[in-house]
Structure 1
């Protein structure tokens, strides 16, 4: 794409930046109009996905995605907590999701599909799509990976989903951001539904509260991935029984935290002594990539050896990516802000990183930050779901204020208004990132401790057992487990 975008796109980008002054109904209407008018799919660029290009111009590099984990894997010295699963008979669970491509909720769904059979819950995955609207390529990366591993998968439609359920006969369905029509079909067929609340984004507008109250009447139980998400949901849907909403934190899948040689990973990116912040995040409003990039410009001005590498898909909102790209290209440190696409080898990126950072408006329980900790990388997180548990009062990184203010009162109107405006946590975020750089030697010697704590505390078996207990109880008509996990457990 040329440095000067077409006039229509320039107007659309300018209008987005001014949208906070427009009343919400007109803003929503204008947003839809601008997207049609600007044709972002044709006029915007995409982040590069060539991981053989070095971050530092003129340096040698290698194929980062080709780096494989090291063979020897020392066992962590912190033992996982004991887990007990009571099993009387096996049950069948359909793991239901929407677009099965890449993303945190989809990764959790895939993790459960792979591992629940070891906890007496047989699984199949049903999904309704492989690509987001406007997404290029074939999509469906997770769908193909699961199928290649022998996990039963099925692409369902409103016309054939009921037939599939009657044929496979699940005892329970585990929902992960699935389309509402799938819940309708499950209700029709008579299969109980357990919803997993990965975050609260659907409920950040008051108009959603009453419909959710009606929808929740058809949900047998819900699993919240963090205490903050549980609290946020009960505030917005106070009629839902508290004893049917159980906190089960996500676990670290051992297959996703194997070690990659740090020296080789940094060499593949063309790095020597530079300080590298890595952010594994989609380019979208939730992840607040624009806010992160603009804040990092302040960090880079003070520390000329600091680099920021963002890796994630941009197709969720191409205009948002274009705003972020232009913001990054407009600052003096533009050559140290690297906006890349999806990386098929995130373990190598984390091995190369000195610190991990997310400036999100909301999360349920960030898998990316937890995997960073399990790789021994300290993290900077905003106050979102799971952050307090993962950071443990500063033992594993820095917690900064939510960019929208009070994390328990986040809503879409506030988030939309702050999309391209100065945010209240910018100074805190900059200070935390600068602190990471100044304390580089300390955090470097702490990598093994961080890794062992994360793997020991966030055991995949404990997370799986928690899901299995809820799913089995619903499938067999038994009493749900008590709410036993709290943030201070971490």
Structure 2
């Protein structure tokens, strides 16, 4: 049996090495080829069914109760890509749910339908799905907005928004390390046509400021993301959530400290490196397990992470799931871990913070702010590529190639041990969820104020005129 297990681990090591070579090769391709051709091909070749955790039931939802949206005196269309993928959809839903109370009637233009679109409709929010520039322009004309806010929207939605002649606000959700010179030129053109832009963290703002003309920099202000907490859960609800996750992973957690990571399997999230570093930590006897759940947008990344897992003697301490119910996973977890290469402001980490979990975050957009909210229990670790402000596509690919030897691995192991000790101290008296309502209200207030100021300006050129916005509205940071 021991020899058989050794052969199994050896085969997994070989698989991880081969997939690392594939990762290295695809990383040398331009992003448009990676995302447009390689990822769809590898999805077709490597796809496999994955277990997932469904919602436990009532009491775990982070979203506010759905109520009909009252009519406001200002209409804003939120333009976005797919609503059900990533944190951007959560931000759009938060805005759509909260802006009506501030006199702004929201509507959404997006790609495809889904659960989030249905929830928005149940709240009374108009949702239009579009497929091309013509359908997007028709949707804008039908909805008749006073202002359009773009959230990483597809290029044809951006083009239709510009064609509409409606004042624009662009929301910057990430440090776009994949952008080519052509993409940065397009972004600069969009910023020129936007009355204002919102960066979701100071790091995102500084990153974009470095790629645009000086005259445009003052249009970018910072409004941090926010998220509702799930509220106080009964001990039985937490036990039920933990048992549900145990069934999904096919194992038992016992007294181990359970870390959860809600992230896609792709180059940005550094899943293979996270798995390798976590396994190196628990190999020394640290009583912890890791549950990762997300969409395998890059199946090579998923398969490589799984091969690294299977090649370890502690393979049963890391569990890889498909996209799952985030609130159930957070309710089942003792701590939250995200070791990304780059982020704008991680919404899942914000939800975990609101639930009272200690965080381990790599140095990415929003990480310093979130860890700073709970510095005694949460830990910021270095970015696996080096300086967080200097992350590039090339540095990410070099770090991915060295997934088992990343430069922040030892620091991450120390952070895991520290958080495990914290959780053990708190087992008898767990930390209650935090009241995130003030932060949510501040985020919504600032978005509503910016939308009103934008709608009052007829042309983007007026945004550059002195006195159109006060100093704390343009080029500043909103503290939440």
**1:85 corresponding residue in structure 2:** none
Among 286, 297, 303, the alignment partner of 2:285 is 303
Deviation at 1:164, TM superposition (A): 2.1
Hey, what's the Cα distance between the residues in 2 that align with 1:239 and 1:294? 42
Deviation at 1:399, TM superposition (A): 0.3
Deviation at 1:238, TM superposition (A): 3.9
Say whether residues 1:476 and 2:456 are aligned partners: yes
SS of the aligned residue for 1:66 comes to coil
Among 348, 353, 367, the alignment partner of 1:373 is 353
Say whether residues 1:91 and 2:74 are aligned partners: yes
Hey, what's the Cα distance between the residues in 1 that align with 2:106 and 2:376? 37
Hey, what's the Cα distance between the residues in 2 that align with 1:115 and 1:31? 34
Hey, what's the Cα distance between the residues in 1 that align with 2:36 and 2:157? 26
**1:432 corresponding residue in structure 2:** 415
Deviation at 1:229, TM superposition (A): 1.0
Say whether residues 1:155 and 2:129 are aligned partners: yes
Among 106, 114, 131, the alignment partner of 1:123 is 106
Deviations 1:80-123 (A, max 9, x none): xxxxxxxxx72100010011223101110111112111111101
Q: State how many pairs are aligned.
A: 437
Deviation at 1:246, TM superposition (A): 1.2
SS of the aligned residue for 1:122 comes to strand
**1:263 corresponding residue in structure 2:** 239
Say whether residues 1:141 and 2:115 are aligned partners: yes
**2:59 corresponding residue in structure 1:** 69
Cα contact 2:224–2:478 (8 A) shared by 1: no
Among 43, 46, 56, the alignment partner of 2:46 is 43
Deviation at 1:174, TM superposition (A): 1.0
SS of the aligned residue for 2:431 comes to helix
**2:152 corresponding residue in structure 1:** 177
More moved, 259-268 vs 111-120? 259-268
Deviations 1:159-214 (A, max 9, x none): 22222222221011111110122121122120111111111226655553333223
**1:246 corresponding residue in structure 2:** 221
Say whether residues 1:293 and 2:293 are aligned partners: no
**2:460 corresponding residue in structure 1:** none
Query: Unpaired segments of 5 or more residues in structure 2?
Result: 1-7, 62-71, 247-251, 458-462
**1:321 corresponding residue in structure 2:** 302
Q: Structure 1 pair 33/163, CA: closer, same or farther in 2 (3 Å)?
A: closer
Task: Using structure 1 for the length normalisation, give the TM-score.
Answer: 0.81
SS of the aligned residue for 1:94 comes to strand
Say whether residues 1:19 and 2:52 are aligned partners: no
Hey, what's the Cα distance between the residues in 1 that align with 2:34 and 2:73? 52
- Counterparts of 1:349-388 in structure 2 under 5 Å? 349-388=329-368
Hey, what's the Cα distance between the residues in 2 that align with 1:431 and 1:468? 42
**1:78 corresponding residue in structure 2:** none
SS of the aligned residue for 1:253 comes to coil
Cα contact 1:98–1:128 (8 A) shared by 2: yes
Q: Structure 1 pair 489/165, CA: closer, same or farther in 2 (3 Å)?
A: closer
SS of the aligned residue for 1:181 comes to helix
Hey, what's the Cα distance between the residues in 1 that align with 2:476 and 2:46? 47
Among 312, 319, 341, the alignment partner of 1:331 is 312
More moved, 108-117 vs 480-489? 480-489
Q: Structure 1 pair 481/372, CA: closer, same or farther in 2 (3 Å)?
A: farther
Hey, what's the Cα distance between the residues in 1 that align with 2:32 and 2:165? 37
SS of the aligned residue for 1:394 comes to coil
Deviations 1:339-398 (A, max 9, x none): 011222x22221221111000111111111111111110000011111111111723400
More moved, 142-151 vs 385-394? 142-151
SS of the aligned residue for 2:401 comes to coil
Q: Structure 1 pair 204/416, CA: closer, same or farther in 2 (3 Å)?
A: farther
Q: Structure 1 pair 343/435, CA: closer, same or farther in 2 (3 Å)?
A: same
Deviation at 1:404, TM superposition (A): 1.1
Task: Using structure 2 for the length normalisation, give the TM-score.
Answer: 0.82
Cα contact 2:225–2:345 (8 A) shared by 1: yes
Among 372, 380, 383, the alignment partner of 1:402 is 383
Q: Structure 1 pair 443/370, CA: closer, same or farther in 2 (3 Å)?
A: farther
Hey, what's the Cα distance between the residues in 2 that align with 1:339 and 1:431? 23
**1:224 corresponding residue in structure 2:** 199
SS of the aligned residue for 1:185 comes to helix
**1:60 corresponding residue in structure 2:** none
Q: Structure 1 pair 257/408, CA: closer, same or farther in 2 (3 Å)?
A: farther
Deviation at 1:416, TM superposition (A): 1.9
Deviation at 1:427, TM superposition (A): 1.2
Cα contact 2:399–2:406 (8 A) shared by 1: yes
Q: Structure 1 pair 233/447, CA: closer, same or farther in 2 (3 Å)?
A: farther
Hey, what's the Cα distance between the residues in 1 that align with 2:386 and 2:357? 26
Hey, what's the Cα distance between the residues in 1 that align with 2:335 and 2:241? 14
Q: Structure 1 pair 222/307, CA: closer, same or farther in 2 (3 Å)?
A: same
Hey, what's the Cα distance between the residues in 2 that align with 1:323 and 1:414? 19
**1:196 corresponding residue in structure 2:** 171
Hey, what's the Cα distance between the residues in 1 that align with 2:75 and 2:200? 22
